[in-house]
Amino acid sequence: IIKGLGFHHIALKANDFEKSKEFYKALGLKEIVGWGEGDKSVLMFDLGDGGRLELFAGGSDEYQAEGKYMHFAMCCDDVDAAYEIALKAGATPFKEPKTVPLDSYPEKIAIRIAFVLGPSGEQLEFFKQV
């Protein structure tokens, strides 16, 4: 119905822009373009597969959106390694890596997942179908 429809980016308003910027760079995301300054700074990262993360400065612990995303999931080849890299980059452990068999349809699959909290308390999931 919508021609050319696809995923482009997810936006995150960071409590500490510089800390978040360095964290996502440590995960391997590449800076594409940035604009603005101070609390109006914005930086777009490439996730490596064409998807993007748009990082905004000026966040606070008080910000609450009416509708809220639960987490930001990134696919990867090795969930355990991604989890460890994120922890070394400053993430807080949230849910350790585990394999989850799903009672899914039309076929049964299993996934390997792990969760960390990023610098602004955002939930990040590392995901792989196994």
| In contact, 96 and 80? CB cutoff 8 Å | no
Kindly report the average pLDDT of the chain as a whole number. 89
Q: pLDDT tens across 13-61, in order? A: 888 999 999 999 999 999 999 988 898 899 989 998 889 999 989 876 5
- Neighbour tally for 12: CB within 10 Å: 21
Q: pLDDT tens across 56-72, in order? A: 898 765 655 555 677 88
Vertex 115 angle, CA 117 and 70, to 5°: 75
